[in-house]
Structure 1
Amino acid sequence: MARRCELSGKAVLTGNNVSHAKRRTRRRFLPNLCNVTLQSDALKKHVRLTISANALRSVEHRGGLDAYLLKAGDDELSLKARRLKRQVAKAHEAQAAAS
């Protein structure tokens, strides 16, 4: 499993540990990933995703998973999230046509 957020695309970064004597050794900066289950209102089902804590706050700020996906760009989303975005968009179109 890749250490990458499925919504924001946040991934592992690399850098240096620097000692007091300025000796540098390589290290990894890992994202704060959480396994969460989010509710999709348009699809009326639960979706399990691995996302960063920052992306979880963004989802809540934008008003839910559907709103986040519709506003997000395809380049930062994972394959699973892009498929979910297409399903949500199709469900919104069907709901608008029915109204």
Structure 2
Amino acid sequence: MARRCTLTGTAVQTGNNVSHANNKTRRRFLPNLQNRRLFSEALGVNVSLRIAANALRTIEKQGGIDGYLTAAKEHELPGDLVRLKRRIAAVRSEGQAAEA
């Protein structure tokens, strides 16, 4: 499994450890990935994702996974989340049509 955030694409970065004597050795900066189940209110199901902690904060700020996916551009999302976004949009449009 790749060390990459499903939503933002945040991945491993590389750099140097620098000692007091200015010796440089290579190191890796790992993203803070978390396995989370997020509840989609439109669909009424839990969605399991492996996301970075900063992505989780962004999701909460935008009002949940539904709000995040509707605001995201499709070309920035992986295929399974594009399908989820379209399902959410379809359910919301049906709900608005029923209200009218």
Does the pair score TM above 0.5? Answer: yes
Report the TM-score when normalising by structure 2: 0.89
Aligned ranges 1:1-12 → 2 under 5 Å: 1-12=1-12
Aligned to 1:66: 66
Aligned to 1:45: 45
RMSD: 1.3
Unpaired runs of 5+ residues, structure 2, are none
Deviations 1:32-70 (A, max 9, x none): 010000100111111100011111111111111100111
Higher RCO, Cα 8 Å, sep 6+: 1
| Identical counterparts, % of pairs | 56
Q: Does 1:13 align with 2:42?
A: no
Mapped to 2, the partners of 1:32 and 1:76 lie a distance apart of 20
Contact 1:4/1:11 (CA < 8 Å) preserved in 2? Answer: yes
Mapped to 1, the partners of 2:75 and 2:30 lie a distance apart of 21
Report the TM-score when normalising by structure 1: 0.90
Contact 1:9/1:78 (CA < 8 Å) preserved in 2? Answer: no
Unpaired runs of 5+ residues, structure 1, are none
Runs of 4+ in 1 over 4 A off after TM superposition: none
Aligned to 1:22: 22
Deviations 1:7-39 (A, max 9, x none): 111111111111112121111111101000010
Report how many residues are paired.
99
Q: Does 1:80 align with 2:80?
A: yes
